[in-house]
Amino acid sequence: IADRIKGTEKNVWVEFTELVSQENPVDLGRGFPDFNPPVHVKNALITAATDDSPFIHQYARVKGHKRLVTALAELYSPIINHNIDWATEILITNGAYGALHTTIQGLINPGDEVIIIEPFFDCYSPMVKVAGGTPIFIPLRKTENTGDVFKSSDFTLDYNEFSSKITKKTKALIFNNPNNPIGKVYSLEECQQIAKLCKENNIIVICDEVYEWITYDDKKHIKMASLPDMFNRTLTLGSAGKSFSVTGWKIGWIIGPVHLMKPCVVVHQNVTNSCSTPMQEAIAIAMETDLGKLRRDDSDCYFKSLAKEMQPKRDLAEEFLKETGFHPVRPDGGYFILVNYTDVMKKSCVTLDNSNEANDYKFIKWMIRNKKISAIPVTVFYSEGHKHLGQNYIRFCFMKVKESFLYKKRR
């Protein structure tokens, strides 16, 4: 094993996907929908697959299939107030994972520090380390909660703490909005504060926005790149998998200024080189359809209807989990809900063995084997020094058909 990847062997998705396939529980762990993607998206793939142009079935343009980058430029230019150049300011990648890898490999030098806000999507830290960078972690802090439910917005960033972590070596911030796993959607004021610190300290922002269309209770998603003077220091990462509920299609993108895109293209041209052409064609067709609907303000535009469809699922999940004895943190966006599981554990008289594994892992393994229901441990979304902040929580995915949540009634 190459030295640079040592220490990154353990992976929660590998471990839990295998456990789920062995134990066959109701799978509320890994983040993907268990229902069909929209018909126009599936039809777009049929159209692409049966296209008579032989070129649809051959290698794509390295930076991305022209029809797709054109659609992305049209969709996002008005949203970020910048006339995106389809030829130089967009790169198509193998999902948002590919976008993260490409960006981090392209920009991070050994010794560079990269700020990561906790809880964070677990691959950020190993990706930074493999590039030779040092992740610097800042946890969201739980503020005094006044209502009867905890909300993801009760977890906030301490800007003094953020400032105190900035050094001469700070190169970038990885900013995930809406956040996986906690479902926080940063307000305009929060984004402005973060943008200000990044501008003052010449920090590049790697914005992971894969859940950009999924916000609840009329929360508005703010694109960092849309804030004044931010486009030039921001790379915006997106996912067709999450935008169109086709996580298996693995098409993602990076949008940003040419000086930051160039290193990304260099990485991409020597790694995957180009992404699947028919998949890009299909996403382009679907995106053109939804772009038209967005412009006409049609209610069935998938970018808008998805969150509306999801909101009752979030509410049902929260209600059901509360009834079961968990203490949920209500998310403002994304696919996931965190719950404190410790009372359920006590009530069910679960005794955890005294192995070295974190308690959230042990509890979920017990739940998978004994209750046939799966979730994802939350310590995986925290750095070594901050795992205690996540150890009493587990993450459920509610991007599921209603029946998955009526599990109790089924058994």
The footprint of ligand PMP (CB under 6 A) covers 31, 95-97, 121, 176, 180, 208, 210, 239, 241-242, 247, 252
Handedness of CA 374, 378, 381, 387 (dihedral sign): negative
Write phi, then psi, for 347 (nearest 5 degrees).
-60, -35
Q: Measured from the CB of residue 358, what is the shortest distance to ligand PMP in angstroms?
A: 20
Instruction: Say which DSSP state 272 is in.
Output: T
13 binds ligand GLN (CB under 6 A): yes
Residues 308 and 298: their CA atoms lie apart, in Å, by 13
Q: Measured from the CB of residue 378, what is the shortest distance to ligand PMP in angstroms?
A: 14
Residue 95 interface partner, choices ligand PMP, ligand GLN, none, CB cut-off 5-8 Å depending on type? ligand PMP
Residue 239 interface partner, choices ligand GLN, ligand PMP, none, CB cut-off 5-8 Å depending on type? ligand PMP
372 binds ligand GLN (CB under 6 A): no
Q: Measured from the CB of residue 176, what is the shortest distance to ligand PMP in angstroms?
A: 5
C-alpha to C-alpha distances, 20 to 12, 76, 210, 375, nearest whole angstrom? 12, 38, 25, 10
> What radius of gyration do the chain's Cα atoms show?
21
Nearer to ligand GLN, 113 or 332 (CB): 332
Q: Measured from the CB of residue 14, what is the shortest distance to ligand GLN in angstroms?
A: 9
Residue 30 interface partner, choices ligand GLN, ligand PMP, none, CB cut-off 5-8 Å depending on type? ligand GLN
- Position of tokens 């968990």? 326
Q: Measured from the CB of residue 272, what is the shortest distance to ligand PMP in angstroms?
A: 12
C-alpha to C-alpha distances, 307 to 211, 221, 284, 289, 335, nearest whole angstrom? 10, 12, 21, 18, 10
- What three-state secondary structure class fits 400? coil
Nearer to ligand PMP, 166 or 306 (CB): 306
332 close to 140: Cβ distance less than 8 angstroms = no
Amino acid at 361: Y
Among 25, 26, 28, 31, binds ligand GLN (CB under 6 A): 31
Q: Measured from the CB of residue 209, what is the shortest distance to ligand PMP in angstroms?
A: 9
Nearer to ligand PMP, 221 or 362 (CB): 221
Q: Measured from the CB of residue 68, what is the shortest distance to ligand PMP in angstroms?
A: 14
Residue 304 interface partner, choices ligand PMP, ligand GLN, none, CB cut-off 5-8 Å depending on type? none
Residues 45 and 289: their CA atoms lie apart, in Å, by 13
Q: Which has the closest alpha carbon to 377: 263, 369, 389?
A: 389
Task: Give yes or no for a cis peptide into 126 (omega within 30° of 0).
Answer: no
Task: Give yes or no for a cis peptide into 181 (omega within 30° of 0).
Answer: yes
51: Cβ contacts below 8 Å, ≥ 6 apart: 57, 278, 281
39-49 and 277-296 are packed helices; what angle lies between their axes, rounded to 10 degrees? Answer: 140
Residues 34 and 36: their CA atoms lie apart, in Å, by 7
Task: Give yes or no for a cis peptide into 263 (omega within 30° of 0).
Answer: no
Maximum distance among all alpha carbons in the chain? Answer: 63
Nearer to ligand GLN, 252 or 257 (CB): 252
Nearer to ligand PMP, 135 or 166 (CB): 135
Residue 252 interface partner, choices ligand GLN, ligand PMP, none, CB cut-off 5-8 Å depending on type? ligand PMP
Among 94, 152, 180, 289, binds ligand GLN (CB under 6 A): 180
Residue 13 interface partner, choices ligand GLN, ligand PMP, none, CB cut-off 5-8 Å depending on type? ligand GLN
Residue 37 interface partner, choices ligand PMP, ligand GLN, none, CB cut-off 5-8 Å depending on type? none
211 alpha carbon, distance to own chain's centre: 6
**Token duo for residue 137:** 């972690």
151 binds ligand GLN (CB under 6 A): no
Size of the site for ligand GLN (CB under 6 A): 4
Nearer to ligand GLN, 210 or 264 (CB): 210
Nearer to ligand GLN, 176 or 274 (CB): 176
Nearer to ligand PMP, 335 or 345 (CB): 335
Nearer to ligand PMP, 13 or 407 (CB): 13
Q: Measured from the CB of residue 118, what is the shortest distance to ligand PMP in angstroms?
A: 13
Q: Measured from the CB of residue 29, what is the shortest distance to ligand PMP in angstroms?
A: 13
Q: Measured from the CB of residue 120, what is the shortest distance to ligand PMP in angstroms?
A: 8
Residues 18 and 268: their CA atoms lie apart, in Å, by 30
Q: Which residue is nearest to ligand PMP (CB)?
A: 95
Q: DSSP string covering 336-348, please?
A: EEEEE-HHHHHHT
Q: Using CB under 6 A, list all residues that contact ligand GLN.
A: 13, 30-31, 180
